[in-house]
Amino acid sequence: MKKLIDKFCETKKLNKDELHALLEISHKDREYLSQRAREISIKTFGNKIYLRGLIEISCFCKNDCYYCGLRRSNKNAERYRLTPEEILSCADKGHELGFRTFVLQGGEDAWYTDDIVCSIVEKIKTKYDDCAVTLSLGEKSYESYKRYYDSGADRYLLRHETADEAHYSKLHPSEMSLDNRKRCLYDLKEIGYQVGCGIMVGSPWQTEATIYEDIRFMKDLRPHMIGIGPFIHHKDTPFAEFENGSTYTTLVLLSILRIMFPKVLLPATTALGTADPMGREKGILAGANVLMPNLSPVSVRKKYSLYDNKICTGEEAAECKNCLERRINSIGYEVDSSRGDYPDFRREKHERN
């Protein structure tokens, strides 16, 4: 196994059998995989972890993804949306706490017209020109993405969820399509965003074959960020009875992705921290280099319920940040409070123009 891992680190390539072997890896060998991935992360980012302030702007969603607690058919969901003023005040608080990236995430909520989104982005960017704004607002047209970008948005997160057509159609109703998801990601790249894709690990009907497709897709897209976390069931969804994804496999995949994409921005996600109380620390030690503490007002946190038992729903932003900083320090890492762009991004942008 050590040989396989060494070869993988050299070639950054995996065939199906090698992926199979890694997904079945023993605890002892995983230690080695983790160590190799961690070394790569440290070589690129040092012992620094980027923090992103997450603002969950709305839990209204027009979509009906089978796995998600915000799906429109969930009649038990308590819905809220933040006003532009509330979003700005979260950013104010975040800036004061030292955050230099704000992630505005939400369900696909038509209340936020393009004009409104653009005006929020512009206001944040004008007030805080040392900050990056990341959007994660779902599937939009090329024109909408372009308008957000022209207003100053820097990055966009849109997990592809799975790159396998048949698997995609088991996770989503027929009105949603993998083709459109991919179209969005390629549009975002073309426009000039730093782009993030990703998957839930252990989503229902995920197999080694679908994960292999995910990796192939990522190689083609060449994302700047990859968000992965375990699938965690939500009691009021059609997937309520499905088992949660495994922390172990998530950690293995984090290491695989770090080795394949040495410079990619790779968060240790809240879902990982929900599945395992030490999940985020373990994620960093497996090669992740980003954490996304919550900046949403405490009054709405519980309502942004993508999955059951989500952590960090009770603390104020400052407590959240301090808690994460302590956790980072406890494993020998430090917070980096810069914008934390993708390492080659400026050059890449220059080359494109």
- Distances 209 to 48, 212, 216 between C-alpha atoms, Å: 34, 5, 11
Q: Is 200 in the site for ligand SAH (CB under 6 A)?
A: yes
200 contact, one of ligand SF4, ligand SAH, none, CB 5-8 Å limit per kind: ligand SAH
* DSSP-derived 3-state class of residue 64: coil
Q: How far apart are the first and last CA of the chain?
A: 43
Q: Is 171 in the site for ligand SF4 (CB under 6 A)?
A: no
Q: Is 107 in the site for ligand SF4 (CB under 6 A)?
A: yes
Contact predicate 137/117, CB 8 Å:
yes
Q: How far is the CB of 288 from ligand SF4 (least distance, A)?
A: 21
- Give alpha helix (H) positions in 46-141: 84-96, 114-127
Please list every residue from 212 through 231 that binds ligand SF4, using CB under 6 A. Answer: none
Q: Is 305 in the site for ligand SAH (CB under 6 A)?
A: no
276 contact, one of ligand SF4, ligand SAH, none, CB 5-8 Å limit per kind: none
- Distances 155 to 108, 119, 223, 252 between C-alpha atoms, Å: 17, 16, 11, 26
Q: How far is the CB of 62 from ligand SAH (least distance, A)?
A: 10
How far is the C-alpha of 307 from the C-alpha of 69, rounded, in Å?
6
Please choose, out of 5-13, 30-38, 59-67, 92-100, the segment that lies near ligand SF4 by the rule CB under 6 A.
59-67
Q: Which amino acid is at 50?
A: Y
Contact predicate 195/233, CB 8 Å:
no
How far is the C-alpha of 51 from the C-alpha of 59, rounded, in Å?
23
- Reported as type and span, the H/E element at residue 19 is helix 16-23
Sole binder of ligand SAH in the list 158, 185, 254, 265 (CB under 6 A)? 158
Contact predicate 4/29, CB 8 Å:
no
Q: Is 68 in the site for ligand SF4 (CB under 6 A)?
A: yes
Of residues 65 and 268, the one with the C-beta less far from ligand SF4:
65
For residue 194, list its beta bridge partners.
155
Please list every residue from 225 through 254 that binds ligand SAH, using CB under 6 A. Answer: 229, 231-232, 234
Of residues 101 and 333, the one with the C-beta less far from ligand SAH:
101
Q: How far is the CB of 281 from ligand SAH (least distance, A)?
A: 19
Residues that bind ligand SAH (CB under 6 A): 67-68, 105, 107-108, 136, 138, 158-159, 161, 200, 229, 231-232, 234, 271, 306-307
Q: Can you give the binding site for ligand SF4, defined by CB under 6 A? A: 61, 63, 65, 68, 70-71, 107-108, 138
